[in-house]
């Protein structure tokens, strides 16, 4: 028995030495991608012989790994170096041949090692890495991003049909590669609002990532991964819109996309829930909630763009240069808010949409009044009594806020709508604060008098309306 073990160990040492000498001889005789191909094919041969090895299967797996490692090192160090990938040099056919052979060999070895999950996963990971590296060598720019995105979708489909975890994680990895390359090279965040050198290619890359993320989410309905993929798709749509458009058109487009998502959320509200949601998994929002959250994100982007560029808060003092563009953007935001008021998933969101839409209209009216009464603007009329036109605009702005607040208050009282009453009171308080904090400190005496008289009359009218139309006490609870 002991002699048999010694003989067996001695035989294994001889086999290992013979394989090593064979590798050295093969490396001396051949060069280039033939070396990598030969070592990769020898790994497949060893994987096939493993079935007949009995007790020596683990040793053959080590030999398989060694041969595959030789092929990988040769491919990365000689045939397809990272330096050549970055600099764009190297022999493309040689690199493609070496990496393709490595990927095919690793995939074949994985299929021949189905009984060991860890080994199969490692080999599949090597194959996917080689495919990604090969794609990067063969393509560049938008074509590379599109290829990685398509590979992500294909792997996601494999994962869905075969329940393969490696394919699932590989799909996410390819999607991450496509997104990272897009943001690092094709359209960096710092240049998103500038005109790209190749806008067509940049848009193609963004659309490819967005489509792949959307398709990946559909492959895993009702999962956290699907939620993340949907979020990535929405971000890419917003990003692509910023690449394609600028100025008020960008804000209008974001607002329109928000309105479309609100409508989609309303249609999805009665749709069957995905499996995870149906099982009661509270960590995964329902599809209509995901669409509505995306709509809020697009609406926030549109509002921030308007407040930063088209009609910043300083426009309430100095007006804006492009009133038409600002008006279009604010009207689009108002329309989105009103759509939310009609189609929102919950009462609180419908109320918030109505308030946001009305607020955008009030802000538009305010900016229009101040812009019309600027020294450089086409005023409605010359200054009254020789006083400055800008101060007239501030008096009219205070009156506008007061009258709109009064109208909202009366409407809320008549229609028994608490949100309208609160919004009206809030606007009245804002008008009163403006009169005391700004008008009295900045305007001439006659304008201060006009502002005080105007806000006083509005407050008296509001008090009268409240006394006549105030809501009654809530009904007593039935005991």
Token match 């949601």: residue?
277
Q: Report d(CA 28, CA 296) in Å as an integer.
A: 65
Ordered DSSP codes for 42-91: HHHHHHHHGGG-GGGHHHHHHHHHHHHHHHHHHIIIIIS-HHHHHHT-S-
Q: Alpha helices, DSSP H only, in 344-388? A: 347-372
Ordered DSSP codes for 414-439: HHT-HHHHHHHHHHHHHHHHHIIIII
Handedness of CA 394, 396, 399, 400 (dihedral sign): negative
Q: Report d(CA 124, CA 104) in Å as an integer.
A: 10
Q: Report d(CA 68, CA 453) in Å as an integer.
A: 89
Q: Report d(CA 341, CA 420) in Å as an integer.
A: 13
Handedness of CA 110, 114, 120, 121 (dihedral sign): positive
Q: Whose CA is closest to 16, among 51, 65, 54?
A: 65
Angle 117-138/92-111 helices, nearest 10 degrees?
Answer: 160
Q: Report d(CA 63, CA 19) in Å as an integer.
A: 9
Q: Which two tokens stand for residue 386?
A: 């020789």
Phi, psi of 187 (to 5 degrees): -140, 90
Q: 311 by DSSP, 3-state: which?
A: coil
Half-sphere exposure of 378 (CA within 13 A, CB side): 2
Q: Report d(CA 382, CA 390) in Å as an integer.
A: 11
Q: Report d(CA 151, CA 166) in Å as an integer.
A: 13
Would you give per-residue pLDDT tens digits along the chain (479 residues)?
455 454 444 444 444 455 554 555 555 455 667 777 787 787 777 777 666 555 556 666 777 777 888 888 888 888 888 887 777 666 788 888 889 998 998 998 888 887 778 888 998 999 999 999 999 989 988 999 999 999 999 999 999 888 888 999 999 999 999 999 999 888 877 655 565 555 778 889 999 999 999 999 988 877 788 888 999 999 999 999 998 898 999 999 999 999 999 999 988 886 665 554 444 445 567 888 889 999 999 999 999 999 999 999 999 988 898 899 999 999 999 999 999 999 888 888 899 999 999 999 999 999 999 998 877 544 444 444 434 667 888 889 999 999 999 999 999 888 888 888 999 999 999 999 998 888 888 878 887 888 888 888 988 888 888 888 776 555 554 44
Report CA-CA distances (Å) from 327 to 295, 315, 478: 21, 12, 51
Specify the pLDDT at position 377: 46
Q: Alpha helices, DSSP H only, in 190-322? A: 199-219, 224-244, 248-268, 275-278, 287-305, 315-318
State the CB neighbour count (10 A cutoff) for residue 129: 17
Query: Can you give the pTM of this predicted structure?
Result: 0.82
Helix, strand, coil percentages for the chain (3-state, nearest 5): 80, 0, 20
Specify the pLDDT at position 472: 58
Q: Whose CA is closest to 217, among 181, 175, 183, 187?
A: 175
Specify the pLDDT at position 336: 96
3-state secondary structure 137-162: HHCCHHHHHHHHHHHHHHHHHHHHHH
Exposure b/e, 168-194, CB count within 10 A at least 16 = b: bbbbbbbbebbbebbbeebbeeeebee
Specify the pLDDT at position 239: 92
Report CA-CA distances (Å) from 445 to 173, 238, 379, 435, 450: 68, 49, 22, 13, 9
Taking a C-beta distance cutoff of 8 angstroms, is the pair 179, 209 a contact?
yes
Specify the pLDDT at position 270: 66
Specify the pLDDT at position 124: 92
Q: Is 430 exposed, middle or buried (0-12, 13-18, 19+ CB in 10 A)?
A: middle
């Amino acid at each position: 028995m002991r002699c048999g073990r010694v003989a067996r160990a001695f035989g294994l040492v001889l086999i290992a030495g013979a394989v090593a000498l064979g590798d050295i001889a093969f490396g001396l005789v051949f060069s280039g991608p033939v070396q990598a191909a030969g070592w990769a094919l020898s790994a497949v041969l060893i994987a096939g012989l493993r079935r007949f090895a009995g007790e020596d299967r683990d040793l053959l797996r080590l030999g398989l790994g060694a041969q595959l490692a030789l092929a990988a090192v040769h491919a990365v160090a000689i045939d397809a170096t990272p330096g050549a990938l970055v600099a764009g040099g190297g022999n493309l056919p040689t690199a493609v041949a070496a990496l393709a052979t490595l990927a095919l060999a690793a995939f074949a070895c994985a299929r021949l090692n189905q009984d060991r999950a860890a080994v199969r996963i490692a080999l599949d990971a090597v194959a996917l890495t080689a495919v990604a590296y090969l794609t990067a060598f063969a393509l560049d720019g938008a074509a590379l991003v599109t290829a990685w995105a398509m590979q992500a979708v294909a792997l996601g489909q494999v994962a869905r049909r075969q329940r393969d975890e490696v394919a699932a994680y590989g799909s996410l990895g390819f999607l991450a590669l496509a997104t990272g390359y897009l943001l690092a090279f094709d359209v960096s965040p710092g240049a998103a609002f500038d005109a790209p050198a190749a806008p067509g290619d940049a848009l193609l890359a963004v659309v490819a990532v967005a489509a792949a993320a959307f398709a990946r989410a559909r492959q895993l309905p009702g999962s956290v991964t699907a939620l993340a993929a949907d979020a990535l798709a929405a971000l890419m749509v917003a990003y692509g819109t910023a690449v394609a458009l600028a100025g008020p058109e960008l804000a209008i487009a974001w607002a329109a996309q928000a309105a479309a998502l609100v409508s989609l959320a309303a249609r999805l509200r009665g749709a069957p829930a995905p499996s995870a949601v149906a099982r009661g998994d509270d960590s995964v929002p329902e599809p209509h909630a995901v669409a509505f959250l995306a709509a809020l994100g697009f609406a926030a982007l549109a509002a921030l763009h308007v407040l930063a560029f088209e009609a910043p808060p300083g426009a309430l003092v100095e007006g804006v240069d492009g009133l038409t563009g600002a008006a279009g953007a604010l009207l689009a935001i108002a329309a989105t808010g009103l759509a939310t008021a009609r189609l929102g998933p919950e009462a609180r969101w419908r109320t918030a949409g109505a308030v946001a839409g009305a607020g955008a209209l009030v802000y538009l009216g305010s900016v229009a009044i101040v812009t019309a009464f600027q020294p450089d603007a086409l005023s409605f009329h010359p200054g009254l009594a020789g006083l400055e036109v800008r101060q007239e605009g501030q008096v009219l702005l205070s009156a506008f806020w007061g009258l709109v607040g009064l109208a909202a208050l009366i409407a809320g009282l008549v229609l028994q709508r608490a949100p309208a009453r609160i919004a009206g009171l809030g606007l009245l308080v804002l008008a009163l604060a403006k009169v005391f904090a700004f008008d009295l400190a900045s305007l001439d005496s006659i304008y201060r008098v006009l502002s005080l008289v105007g806000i006083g009359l509005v407050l008296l009218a509001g008090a009268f309306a409240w006394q006549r139309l105030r809501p009654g006490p809530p009904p007593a609870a039935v005991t």
